[in-house]
Amino acid sequence: MNKTIAIIPARGGSKRLPGKNIKLLGELPLLVHTILFAQQHDFIAAVYVSTDDEAIKSVAMQYGALVIDRPQMLSGDFEPTVSALKHVLETITQEVENVLLLQATNPLRPHNLLNEAFVRFQDEQVDCLFTVSRSHHKLGKIENHTFIPYNYEVGQRSQDLEPLYYENGLLYIIKASTILNNELITKESFPFVVNHPFANVDIDTQEDFDYAEYLLKIHN
Protein backbone atom coordinates (compact mmCIF):
# COMPACT_ATOMS: atom_id res chain seq x y z
CA MET A 1 0.00 0.00 0.00
CA ASN A 2 1.25 3.49 -0.86
CA LYS A 3 2.63 5.38 2.13
CA THR A 4 1.07 8.83 2.05
CA ILE A 5 1.54 11.51 4.71
CA ALA A 6 0.09 15.00 5.08
CA ILE A 7 2.32 17.99 5.79
CA ILE A 8 0.92 21.33 6.95
CA PRO A 9 3.47 24.18 6.94
CA ALA A 10 2.50 26.72 9.63
CA ARG A 11 4.98 29.41 10.51
CA GLY A 12 4.56 31.91 13.32
CA GLY A 13 5.12 35.63 12.97
CA SER A 14 2.39 36.58 10.49
CA LYS A 15 2.71 40.33 9.89
CA ARG A 16 -0.62 41.28 8.28
CA LEU A 17 -2.76 39.08 10.54
CA PRO A 18 -0.82 38.34 13.76
CA GLY A 19 -1.32 34.84 15.14
CA LYS A 20 -3.52 33.85 12.19
CA ASN A 21 -2.67 30.13 12.22
CA ILE A 22 -4.22 29.70 15.67
CA LYS A 23 -6.84 32.44 15.45
CA LEU A 24 -10.31 31.00 16.08
CA LEU A 25 -12.28 30.36 12.91
CA GLY A 26 -15.70 29.33 14.14
CA GLU A 27 -14.96 27.27 17.25
CA LEU A 28 -11.55 25.96 16.14
CA PRO A 29 -8.11 27.47 15.58
CA LEU A 30 -7.48 28.08 11.88
CA LEU A 31 -4.81 25.37 11.67
CA VAL A 32 -7.10 22.76 13.20
CA HIS A 33 -9.58 22.83 10.31
CA THR A 34 -6.80 21.50 8.07
CA ILE A 35 -5.55 18.93 10.62
CA LEU A 36 -9.05 17.49 10.98
CA PHE A 37 -9.56 17.42 7.21
CA ALA A 38 -6.44 15.28 6.78
CA GLN A 39 -7.32 13.00 9.69
CA GLN A 40 -10.67 12.11 8.11
CA HIS A 41 -8.92 10.10 5.37
CA ASP A 42 -7.78 6.57 6.18
CA PHE A 43 -5.07 6.49 3.51
CA ILE A 44 -3.19 9.34 5.22
CA ALA A 45 -0.70 7.50 7.45
CA ALA A 46 0.26 10.54 9.55
CA VAL A 47 -0.36 14.28 9.74
CA TYR A 48 2.71 16.48 10.32
CA VAL A 49 2.79 20.18 11.13
CA SER A 50 6.04 21.97 10.31
CA THR A 51 6.42 25.06 12.49
CA ASP A 52 8.89 27.39 14.20
CA ASP A 53 6.32 28.59 16.75
CA GLU A 54 5.67 27.12 20.21
CA ALA A 55 2.00 28.20 20.37
CA ILE A 56 1.29 26.60 16.99
CA LYS A 57 3.16 23.48 18.09
CA SER A 58 1.03 23.22 21.23
CA VAL A 59 -2.26 23.53 19.30
CA ALA A 60 -1.16 21.02 16.65
CA MET A 61 -0.21 18.42 19.27
CA GLN A 62 -3.45 19.01 21.17
CA TYR A 63 -5.38 17.91 18.07
CA GLY A 64 -3.27 14.85 17.35
CA ALA A 65 -0.83 16.10 14.72
CA LEU A 66 2.85 15.23 14.81
CA VAL A 67 5.10 18.30 14.96
CA ILE A 68 8.40 18.86 13.18
CA ASP A 69 10.36 21.81 14.60
CA ARG A 70 11.34 23.95 11.62
CA PRO A 71 14.76 25.62 11.91
CA GLN A 72 14.87 29.42 11.73
CA MET A 73 16.95 29.21 8.55
CA LEU A 74 13.95 27.58 6.85
CA SER A 75 11.36 29.94 8.34
CA GLY A 76 12.02 33.22 6.56
CA ASP A 77 9.45 35.18 4.55
CA PHE A 78 11.15 34.27 1.27
CA GLU A 79 11.87 30.60 2.00
CA PRO A 80 10.08 28.36 -0.53
CA THR A 81 7.52 25.86 0.72
CA VAL A 82 9.45 22.95 -0.77
CA SER A 83 12.29 23.47 1.73
CA ALA A 84 9.92 22.91 4.69
CA LEU A 85 8.50 19.76 3.07
CA LYS A 86 11.95 18.43 2.28
CA HIS A 87 13.03 19.07 5.88
CA VAL A 88 10.11 16.98 7.16
CA LEU A 89 10.95 14.09 4.82
CA GLU A 90 14.61 14.20 5.86
CA THR A 91 13.71 14.37 9.58
CA ILE A 92 11.26 11.48 9.86
CA THR A 93 12.41 7.87 9.66
CA GLN A 94 9.38 6.42 7.86
CA GLU A 95 9.51 5.60 4.17
CA VAL A 96 7.16 7.92 2.29
CA GLU A 97 5.88 7.67 -1.26
CA ASN A 98 3.44 10.58 -1.51
CA VAL A 99 3.03 13.87 0.33
CA LEU A 100 -0.27 15.69 0.70
CA LEU A 101 0.57 19.38 1.10
CA LEU A 102 -2.20 21.26 2.89
CA GLN A 103 -1.94 24.97 3.66
CA ALA A 104 -3.45 26.19 6.91
CA THR A 105 -4.49 29.41 5.17
CA ASN A 106 -6.92 27.40 3.01
CA PRO A 107 -9.04 26.02 5.88
CA LEU A 108 -12.23 25.18 3.96
CA ARG A 109 -12.31 22.30 1.48
CA PRO A 110 -15.15 20.38 -0.18
CA HIS A 111 -15.78 17.13 1.71
CA ASN A 112 -15.00 14.69 -1.14
CA LEU A 113 -12.17 16.72 -2.66
CA LEU A 114 -9.24 14.67 -1.41
CA ASN A 115 -10.75 11.27 -2.22
CA GLU A 116 -11.53 12.37 -5.78
CA ALA A 117 -8.16 14.07 -6.23
CA PHE A 118 -6.18 11.10 -4.91
CA VAL A 119 -7.94 8.67 -7.26
CA ARG A 120 -7.13 11.00 -10.17
CA PHE A 121 -3.51 11.35 -8.98
CA GLN A 122 -3.11 7.58 -9.08
CA ASP A 123 -4.92 7.18 -12.41
CA GLU A 124 -2.83 9.86 -14.12
CA GLN A 125 0.43 8.49 -12.64
CA VAL A 126 1.93 11.98 -12.34
CA ASP A 127 4.55 13.44 -9.98
CA CYS A 128 2.16 16.10 -8.72
CA LEU A 129 -1.54 16.96 -8.75
CA PHE A 130 -2.66 20.42 -7.65
CA THR A 131 -6.01 22.17 -7.53
CA VAL A 132 -6.95 25.04 -9.82
CA SER A 133 -10.08 27.12 -10.43
CA ARG A 134 -11.26 29.04 -13.45
CA SER A 135 -10.94 32.81 -13.39
CA HIS A 136 -13.87 34.79 -14.76
CA HIS A 137 -12.11 38.16 -14.56
CA LYS A 138 -11.31 40.35 -17.52
CA LEU A 139 -7.57 40.70 -17.01
CA GLY A 140 -5.12 43.16 -18.51
CA LYS A 141 -1.77 44.87 -18.13
CA ILE A 142 -1.03 48.56 -17.56
CA GLU A 143 1.80 49.98 -19.65
CA ASN A 144 2.56 53.71 -19.85
CA HIS A 145 -0.69 54.45 -17.97
CA THR A 146 -2.67 52.53 -20.60
CA PHE A 147 -4.77 49.45 -19.86
CA ILE A 148 -4.10 46.64 -22.32
CA PRO A 149 -6.62 43.75 -22.22
CA TYR A 150 -4.92 40.38 -21.82
CA ASN A 151 -7.56 37.67 -22.04
CA TYR A 152 -10.38 39.48 -23.85
CA GLU A 153 -11.28 42.20 -26.31
CA VAL A 154 -13.11 45.34 -25.25
CA GLY A 155 -16.85 44.72 -25.47
CA GLN A 156 -16.51 40.93 -25.24
CA ARG A 157 -18.93 39.17 -22.89
CA SER A 158 -17.50 37.61 -19.71
CA GLN A 159 -18.98 34.21 -20.57
CA ASP A 160 -17.04 34.21 -23.85
CA LEU A 161 -13.62 34.68 -22.25
CA GLU A 162 -10.80 32.29 -23.08
CA PRO A 163 -10.63 29.87 -20.10
CA LEU A 164 -7.82 30.83 -17.72
CA TYR A 165 -7.16 29.11 -14.39
CA TYR A 166 -5.44 30.01 -11.13
CA GLU A 167 -3.70 27.86 -8.52
CA ASN A 168 -6.16 27.99 -5.61
CA GLY A 169 -4.01 26.31 -2.92
CA LEU A 170 -6.65 23.85 -1.66
CA LEU A 171 -4.36 20.84 -1.91
CA TYR A 172 -1.30 19.37 -3.58
CA ILE A 173 -0.42 15.68 -3.85
CA ILE A 174 3.27 15.22 -4.63
CA LYS A 175 5.64 12.31 -4.97
CA ALA A 176 8.19 12.39 -2.14
CA SER A 177 10.95 11.90 -4.70
CA THR A 178 9.88 15.13 -6.44
CA ILE A 179 10.14 17.08 -3.17
CA LEU A 180 13.55 15.59 -2.40
CA ASN A 181 14.57 16.90 -5.84
CA ASN A 182 13.56 20.41 -4.65
CA GLU A 183 10.47 20.55 -6.85
CA LEU A 184 6.72 20.80 -6.28
CA ILE A 185 4.83 21.58 -9.48
CA THR A 186 6.63 20.21 -12.52
CA LYS A 187 5.75 20.60 -16.20
CA GLU A 188 4.09 17.18 -16.06
CA SER A 189 1.89 18.04 -13.04
CA PHE A 190 -1.86 17.50 -13.33
CA PRO A 191 -4.20 20.48 -12.72
CA PHE A 192 -7.34 19.27 -10.91
CA VAL A 193 -10.20 21.72 -11.50
CA VAL A 194 -12.31 22.71 -8.48
CA ASN A 195 -15.34 24.95 -8.89
CA HIS A 196 -16.45 25.77 -5.36
CA PRO A 197 -16.67 28.93 -3.22
CA PHE A 198 -14.05 27.45 -0.85
CA ALA A 199 -11.48 27.81 -3.63
CA ASN A 200 -11.70 31.60 -3.18
CA VAL A 201 -10.44 31.48 0.42
CA ASP A 202 -6.75 32.08 1.08
CA ILE A 203 -6.30 33.85 4.40
CA ASP A 204 -3.75 36.63 4.58
CA THR A 205 -5.74 39.55 5.98
CA GLN A 206 -8.61 40.17 8.41
CA GLU A 207 -10.93 40.64 5.42
CA ASP A 208 -9.95 37.17 4.14
CA PHE A 209 -10.64 35.77 7.61
CA ASP A 210 -14.06 37.43 7.77
CA TYR A 211 -14.97 35.95 4.37
CA ALA A 212 -13.92 32.46 5.55
CA GLU A 213 -16.10 32.87 8.65
CA TYR A 214 -19.05 33.83 6.45
CA LEU A 215 -18.61 30.78 4.19
CA LEU A 216 -18.13 28.47 7.17
CA LYS A 217 -21.40 29.73 8.66
CA ILE A 218 -23.53 29.33 5.53
CA HIS A 219 -22.05 25.95 4.51
CA ASN A 220 -22.37 24.44 7.97
Rounded-to-integer distance, Cα 171 and Cα 100, Å: 7
pLDDT for res 161? 86
Strands (E), 10-122: 24-25, 28-29, 44-51, 66-69, 98-101
Section 11-39 average pLDDT: 94
CA 94 from chain centre, in angstroms, equals: 23
- Share the mean pLDDT of the chain: 94
Return the minimum-mean-pLDDT range out of 13-22, 107-116, 119-128, 174-183: 13-22
| 187 DSSP β-pair partners | none
- The H-or-E segment that residue 166 falls in is strand 164-175
What number is the average pLDDT over the span 199-213? 96
Q: Tell me which residue of 88, 78, 26 sits closest to 51, measured CA to CA.
A: 88
Domain 4-131+167-219, CATH number (from 3.40.1280.10, 3.30.390.30, 3.90.550.10, 3.40.1260.10): 3.90.550.10
Which run of H or of E encompasses 34?
Answer: helix 30-39
Band of pLDDT at residue 2, cut at 50, 70 and 90: low
Q: 158 with 138: CB under 8 angstroms? A: yes
Rounded CA-CA distance 13/20 in Å is 9
Measured CA to CA, the distance from residue 158 to residue 160 in angstroms comes to 5
Compute the distance between CA of residue 8 and CA of residue 103 in angstroms, rounded to an integer.
6
First-to-last alpha carbon distance for the chain, in angstroms, is 34
Number of H helices, E strands in the chain: 6, 11
Determine which helix (DSSP H) or strand (DSSP E) holds 148, and give its type and residue range: strand 146-149
Residue 93: phi, psi to the nearest 5?
Answer: -95, -15
- Average of pLDDT values for 155-183? 93
pLDDT in tens, 34-84: 999 999 999 999 999 999 999 999 999 999 999 999 988 777 777 899 999
For the chain, what are the domain ranges? 4-131+167-219
Q: Are 192 and 120 in contact (CB under 8 A)?
A: yes
Whether the Cβ atoms of residue 70 and residue 83 lie closer than 8 Å to each other: no
Read off the pLDDT band of 189 (50, 70, 90). Answer: very high
Alpha carbon distance 110, 195 (integer Å): 10
